[in-house]
Amino acid sequence: MCAMDAAAGSGPAADRGPCAGIPAEQMSFIRQVLDRVGDKWSLLVIAVLESGPLRYSDLLRTVPGISQRMLTLTVRQLQQDGLITRTAYAEVPPRVEYALTPLGRGLHEIAMSFVRWASDHYEEIREHRARATAS
């Protein structure tokens, strides 16, 4: 990531590389956004919502291994960042659906690229981890 911190001043975060041209005062916020969308669950939630709005229980079934607590936290954070919407319907029983916003749809292809990459390289990474553990 970028070497300079926001406290370094108002110039660019770096002279070259991916952070060139980004003001140093924006870097802390950019790191927060990258942490959010790059966490363990956010990319998967964004990936599964591409097919359209899903209810909470459908999300829970569609994202393997996620707990109710983590799904609740993840959708709340994605909603706070404007990546998904939460729509509550006044029905009995109550119904809540989550959907991607235009901002979230813009992130979808990136999320899918990460998911595909991890799937494509599963065996190779597993082998590297096994060798590192055996050493």
Q: What confidence tens digit (pLDDT) does each residue in 36-74 have?
A: 888 889 989 999 999 999 999 999 999 989 999 999 999
Tell me the backbone φ, ψ of residue 43, rounded to 5 degrees: -65, -35
Claim: this prediction has a pTM higher than 0.85: no
Tokens standing for residue 37: 């969308």
Tokens standing for residue 62: 């569609």
What is the per-residue pLDDT for 108? 87
What is the per-residue pLDDT for 7? 46
Write out residues in the chain with pLDDT < 70, as ranges.
1-13
Give domain limits for the chain.
Answer: 22-134
What is the per-residue pLDDT for 13? 66
| Fold of domain 22-134 | Arc Repressor Mutant, subunit A (1.10.10)
